[in-house]
Structure 1
Amino acid sequence: MVVALYRFLFTRFLFLMFLFSLCRLLFFLFYADQYEACTTGEILHAFVLGLRFDISILLAFNVVLVLPLALGRFFDIPKILFFLGKILFVLVNGILICINLIDLEYFSFTGKRTGIEILGIKDDIENQFSQLLTNYWHISLLGFMLFLWLLLRTLRLAYKPVLSARPKIYFTIGYALFICIAVLGIRGGLQLKPLRPNIAFSIEPSKLGNVVLNTPFNIFMTIGIAPIEPVKYFNDPTEVSSILSEWNAQQKNTLPNHTTPQNVVIIILESFSSEYMGINNPYAGYTPFLDSLAKTNLYFPHNFANGKVSMVAAPSILASIPGLMEEPYITSLYQTNTLIGLGAPLQDKGYHTSFFHAAQNGSMGFDAFTKNADFAHYYGLNEYKGNKEDYDGNWGIYDEPYLQYFKNMLNTFPEPFISTVFTISSHQPYSLPEAFKNTFPKGSLEIYPSIGYTDYALRTFFEQAKKEKWYANTLFVITADHTQMHDKKSYMNTRGDYAIPLIFFHPNEKLHADTSLVASQIDIMPSILDYLHVPNPNAALLGQSVFGKQIGHDYAVNFSNNTYRVFLKENYIEGSADKSFVIKDYNDRSLRAANEKEKKFIEAIIQYYTNGMINNTYYNWPVTKAPI
């Protein structure tokens, strides 16, 4: 009986999988011109990978739907129940197939697979239903034909119970096992996190991710995530770009052209507030090595995080996307938008690109996101081959052994390379290796010993890296993902909530920049490209090179609790999309209403970011020539 049951279930799902693959083929054919540069092998890989997403959504909807059909094939149940089961099976799967056809046309408007945000235009769809049906009759016809095919095949299922002599317990056990298998299929495998839409874009080239995805999966995986509302402070989008271009006015690049290609290493420190350092503070701090590095290189004391969580930091640093909505970009409705990360222009210049995270693969969604940002190689806990004592028992590998592993891996990469490493030891619960339990100053905060340990790990990393041939030709960028708890009164304010270190260091060059100006994580990508003299024709309109910042044009942006902020040198602008904007000092006292220039600036930021996310135009916003 169990074999017959699985043969029956497999046949039903195989047909549904075929219909979904047919929809994928139609999508590919509709937009084949976008994939002309892809090889046949890459396209076939996208189709195969897409089966994983098809299995997930089809099992999620059918694990219960097929039960009455299965019962009707093996047991004497009321015929009406079997018939209703067939109708329900056809209706639900027919709707899924029709939804899968939406992007045969709608994709041309958005450039991405449709998500739950389509509900934001449901009234327009209802009002325009007749003309949509007329203008897109070919899509309607395709949907009707596939629906009819599904209906006819399902109605053919005859009510002919196979009366087995074996007890019903066999069926129960077999179906229970099927449910267990289905759960695995729905979550997409045994990986740490369930299957997410952005994982589709881990494929190379990443634009094939839209071929990998199916629209029902994308819609239902974004249910519960509220879409952001479009804004319209300015009727002409080019006015937005004009305002932002004026604020982004840069000095001419005077950086030297290198005869030897330069490597880049980005170090992102977990929960490192500027408050914990000694430099620029009236106390010793807990980071003697980082302080020494900062004193001899470019250190920006007015640097800010663009958000409060790690999942905001990665897009800010690697793609100049700040966290200006409640949901982090990585898990938002817009996670499948066109992404032009730091890896893209550098891969075009022959750079080897990689990202290292000492935590479990899948943690924070970094594996999928960094692939989308064109960091071709991801190294997580799964790839680490060190001692079991290096595991902290919670998150992943302790910073000291992991940074040594990172250094050893860099030794194997062809130059030039760009590589990012994200540390974890200063993350709660702040565990330390046994040998270092009582080594570092405790202070008044639980985090301080782990800050001291990570600083020590950085020291040992640089001591060993100095011995490697790539070191002399490498730009190091050191920053943090976000701040953590406070114990210094001077940091118990909005400024302190976002103040993190930013250091640019090159062992063989004296770097020049105005470090008194405001900087933030979204400045890192344009700064690195500026340093390397690599153009980025699709640069975001937020973020500046620190090597070209000008007084009066420097800023940082962030968002929390429905409140936008733009940090300036002496004060900051604060407000929400539906309220007035005010100027506050860095003790969080309101000074005055924002003037017209300040008001237009923050409104331009909000409109650019919000509408750019919704319309997938963040890197393709209509621009005008910047004022001279």
Structure 2
Amino acid sequence: MKGISIKRFECYLLYLLSIHMAALFIFFIFRFTLFCSIDYQFPAEIKGDVLLQSGAFLRGLWFDNVIACYILLLPLVVLWIAALCNYTAKWLFRFTTVYFSCFYSVSFVIAAANIPYFEYFFKTINSSIYNWFGYGGTTAGLMFGESSYYFPIFLGLLSIVVFVWGASSLASYFYRRAEKAAPQISLLSRVAVLVAGAICIGLCLFGIRGRMGYNPIKVSQAYYCEDPFLNQLGVNPVFNLLTSTLDDNRKENRTLHLMSEEDALSKVQKYLHRQGIDRLSPIARKVEREGTPNRRNVVLVFMESMSANLMGTFGSDKKLTPYLDSLYQQSLSFSHFYSSGIHTNHGIYFTLYSFPAIMKRNAMKGSVIPVYSGLPTVLQENGYCNLFFMTHESQYDNMNAFLRTNGFDEIYAQENYPSEKVVNSFGVQDDFMYQYALPILNERAGTGNPFFSVLLSISNHPPYVIPPYFHPHSDVLEEQIVEYADWSIRQFMQAAEKQPWFDNTIFVFLGDHGKMVGTPECEMPQSYNHIPLMIYGKDIKPGVYDGFGGQVDVSPTLLGLLNISYLQNNFGVNLLEEERPCMFFTADNLIGARDSVNMFIYSPDSQQEFKYKLEEGKLHAATGTDEEAFRNLKDYCFSMLQSTESLVKEHKTLDKVSVKK
């Protein structure tokens, strides 16, 4: 009986490693070809920066390895088992050769197609190509009728031929070596192969995951600088196509059907008093201000899970937010203000770009980065430096890629902070992030240009961590963390008051969303969506706005305070000049809208409607009265969300008409 051959397993590993390295090299050739062939002019400051440009290729190797490890896993397991059984045969190598040839041929076709695709769309190839599959003749004519496509086609075919020939040659060579390997009969050799194979499989799985962090690798990891071409160059086209396809097929990303698009857009035009602008958007308008912009800085703080119900101002008797309650009295504050959804990504998207979040959908997380105009882009066009500070990893929810694509110049996240300051999977604590931001804001203020800084807190999100230097009054952890969040903001503002830019800065504090506080009164607990909004600054008159508003209205309201003229193409209104009859919001699988008396809730999954009336400060089930009021609420929220679906689908999310060259 033959024993285990360690040398035979070594042959298998060398064979697989050779295939793996060859594939990575061919992926590099495709990336280098794209780099050389695209008609793109680097900005002068990075044109000769070889070190910066090489960063895209290093990240490309990272993403290429993810795809290569996916393909490698099955042959690795098969050959490991064969080695444990001390088995080798010509058919085994033929199988792996055919397997590698098939998968890598498809991969190289995608990589080759990415070259002309990227040159035309300035995007890495993605699931949108499936739209062409219904036009086979047209697509074939496009491919073979355009001479600039000949070289990518030739490169793709050549890569396949060379790879298949190389894989076959390697298979023959290593089969002969494996066949000659002398068997060793020992328990130790069997254990050695078992352990070595398990380690190799573990490394392969790690390669598939791509990283050691809280999340597996996402497109966001490729974004490392301010240049849009270099940020996308590192993304493996196969990875992007697969992940964008998976994104499209997620239940939460499927199209919403509440009413016809025509009816929805017509109603939204009426509600928002918009006529639209031809070729741009049916809800676009020009906002003209008298005089010149005042060029004040803006600091916007998203307070994690800060429900209005946690504040004494809104009835809490816990005394958890003494500073926020005092700030509310000193600010332009909004008492009936609502978050878009119940997740942080919704709050960021809704607040900064004034497009409603659609149910569970995360507009930032897709592999294909959508492009929006909004507060960051308008401020950027007006000379602002835009900064975003977060406590956790920058690729969480794909924030790094999305924010850099949509108006932010600088991102500061967990990877920028000292490792000893990281307290849990969500990074550093609030007060450290605030302290970290101040010197950077001082530096930006010193340039003479205004800045727009967003700070995203995290502490009021489990797992809760109370720092040892903070001493809360409550004995309940969930209340202690609110006290800490309030204290951190106090420390930040007291430190900011000492800075020379303080008097020329508008501070905005709002919840990214709320949280469950008390007993839920309906299918959509209002504590999840009812959040505080406070706008504080010198010469901003304190007062309370009692009308309805939402995160969607923050951008136009702030641009009004900054006296900036701009072209608006979103769903927000300036709350200081316009009024909303009600407000709409979502909570994963539910849609809601409310006015001062009525609350309407709808479940698209079950197509159920829930109706409530506000009596003595509490919601009670409505009993068939005032159907017109509920119909108005339904039309309002349905039309807003359906119009959002339509405009996003048609890519009408910019404040200018894009011109394809």
Q: Is TM (by shorter chain) over 0.5? A: yes
Letter in structure 2 aligned against 1:352: C
Question: Which of residues 196, 204, 207 is equivalent to 2:218?
Answer: 196
Q: Equivalences for 1:205-354 in 2 at 5 Å?
A: 205-206=227-228, 208-222=230-244, 223=246, 225-226=250-251, 227-229=253-255, 233-234=260-261, 242=269, 246=273, 257=292, 261-281=295-315, 285-331=319-365, 333=366, 336-340=369-373, 342-354=375-387
CA distance in 2: counterparts of 1:149 and 1:238, whole angstroms: 54
Deviation at 1:441, TM superposition (A): 4.0
Whether the aligned pair in 2 keeps the contact of 1:272 and 1:484 (CA below 8 Å) is yes
Of stretches 277-286 and 48-57 in structure 1, the one that deviates more from structure 2 is: 277-286
Letter in structure 1 aligned against 2:109: C
Q: Secondary structure at the match of 2:212?
A: coil
Question: Which of residues 472, 477, 481 is equivalent to 2:503?
Answer: 472
Deviation at 1:24, TM superposition (A): 3.9
Whether the aligned pair in 1 keeps the contact of 2:310 and 2:321 (CA below 8 Å) is yes
Deviation at 1:213, TM superposition (A): 2.2
Question: Which of residues 486, 491, 499 is equivalent to 1:460?
Answer: 491
- Seen in structure 2, the aligned counterparts of structure 1 residues 257 and 494 have a Cα distance that, compared at 3 Å, is farther
Of stretches 53-62 and 131-140 in structure 1, the one that deviates more from structure 2 is: 131-140
CA distance in 2: counterparts of 1:238 and 1:30, whole angstroms: 42
Whether the aligned pair in 2 keeps the contact of 1:342 and 1:373 (CA below 8 Å) is no
Q: Secondary structure at the match of 1:312?
A: helix
Deviation at 1:463, TM superposition (A): 2.0
Deviations 1:231-250 (A, max 9, x none): 57135998587457526799
Partner of residue 91, structure 1:
102
Partner of residue 440, structure 1:
473
Partner of residue 545, structure 1:
574
CA distance in 2: counterparts of 1:94 and 1:153, whole angstroms: 13
Partner of residue 619, structure 1:
654
Deviations 1:580-599 (A, max 9, x none): 98876453637426798766
Deviation at 1:501, TM superposition (A): 0.5
Whether the aligned pair in 2 keeps the contact of 1:47 and 1:211 (CA below 8 Å) is yes
Deviations 1:102-121 (A, max 9, x none): 555667998754555767x5
CA distance in 2: counterparts of 1:229 and 1:570, whole angstroms: 31
Unaligned 5+ residue runs, structure 2?
1-6, 275-282
Identity of aligned residues (%): 20
Question: Which of residues 561, 566, 581 is equivalent to 1:531?
Answer: 561
CA distance in 2: counterparts of 1:238 and 1:137, whole angstroms: 41
Pair 1:147 & 2:160 matched: yes
Partner of residue 533, structure 2:
502
CA distance in 2: counterparts of 1:289 and 1:582, whole angstroms: 37
CA distance in 2: counterparts of 1:109 and 1:428, whole angstroms: 44
Partner of residue 80, structure 1:
91
Pair 1:487 & 2:518 matched: yes
Q: Secondary structure at the match of 1:51?
A: helix
Partner of residue 56, structure 1:
66
Partner of residue 170, structure 2:
157
- Seen in structure 2, the aligned counterparts of structure 1 residues 283 and 171 have a Cα distance that, compared at 3 Å, is closer
- Seen in structure 2, the aligned counterparts of structure 1 residues 504 and 49 have a Cα distance that, compared at 3 Å, is same
CA distance in 2: counterparts of 1:196 and 1:64, whole angstroms: 23
Deviations 1:167-207 (A, max 9, x none): 56666655544434333332233333221123334542236
Deviation at 1:372, TM superposition (A): 3.6
Deviation at 1:484, TM superposition (A): 1.2
Deviations 1:502-547 (A, max 9, x none): 11111x212589822222223223333343344554x542223334
Deviations 1:111-147 (A, max 9, x none): 754555767x5xx83x543443344346795555543
Whether the aligned pair in 2 keeps the contact of 1:334 and 1:613 (CA below 8 Å) is no
Unaligned 5+ residue runs, structure 1?
624-628
CA distance in 2: counterparts of 1:251 and 1:157, whole angstroms: 65
Of stretches 512-521 and 592-601 in structure 1, the one that deviates more from structure 2 is: 592-601
Partner of residue 626, structure 1:
none
Letter in structure 2 aligned against 1:197: V
Question: Which of residues 552, 566, 591 is equivalent to 1:522?
Answer: 552
Deviation at 1:385, TM superposition (A): 4.4
Deviation at 1:292, TM superposition (A): 1.4
CA distance in 2: counterparts of 1:193 and 1:184, whole angstroms: 12
Partner of residue 412, structure 2:
379
Q: Say how many residue pairs are matched.
A: 608
Question: Which of residues 146, 164, 183 is equivalent to 2:205?
Answer: 183
RMSD: 4.4
Letter in structure 2 aligned against 1:62: L
